[in-house]
A and B are shown apart, each in its own frame.
Chain A
């Protein structure tokens, strides 16, 4: 069974540009969550999608957005990039159940904003 796949693995962008990151969840998983990891702030929750709907949202500005497709694949977009957006962006997928038990994380996309 393939794991969570994130593309690209590395990305360098210039301030002011926008970027789109992609996440393919484990087959059969319908919940996809996104996290930002930086040395200063640690792992912070961005948002979660389930069945193409944003179900939960973290405390990030509107420049950060996402979507989920009918096949559960998800993308996140960051517009008007700032230097502080440089981070490891992680995607996690979970099987749907009454009690959330286990999230499977991808290896992340390392974004550098220059």
Chain B
């Protein structure tokens, strides 16, 4: 099964950029990379997804390595509201069903 590796936790200060890494060395050619986050007491929410090139949206940026075996979720200016568990989902495509690992718990200091 495709797997991902993420650090258990990371810390950041408010207003600073945060780079959340993920390794997905078993990724194959047409697999997408998805990121979700889960705020306290809420269901997960979609953050971003990508295939090959870097992606940007209003919430974050996704930088994908050239060999696609790793990716980095970038929060350009962390806020206290960004404190959450961030999940990098195992790659998949087609009738893919998202499976969640342990994720990275992001702590943001004021």
Contact = CB atoms under 8 A, between A and B. Distances in A.
Interface of A: 4, 33, 35, 42-45, 48, 55-56, 90, 92, 98-108
For the complex of A and B, 6 pairs with smallest distance between CB atoms: A105-B43, A43-B100, A102-B46, A100-B96, A90-B43, A105-B44
B43 A99 contact: no
A103 B98 contact: yes
B102 A105 contact: no
B45 A100 contact: no
Contacts of B101: 42
Contacts of A48: 97
Interface string B69-109: 00000000000000000010000111111111111000000
Interface of B: 32, 34, 41-46, 49, 87, 92-103
A101 B43 contact: no
Contact of A103 (B46, B93, B102): B46
Contact of B96 (A43, A99, A108): A99
Name, among A98, A102, A104, the residue most crowded by chain B CB atoms within 10 Å (CB to CB).
A102
A99 B97 contact: no
Given A42-B102, A99-B32, A101-B32, A33 B97 contact: yes
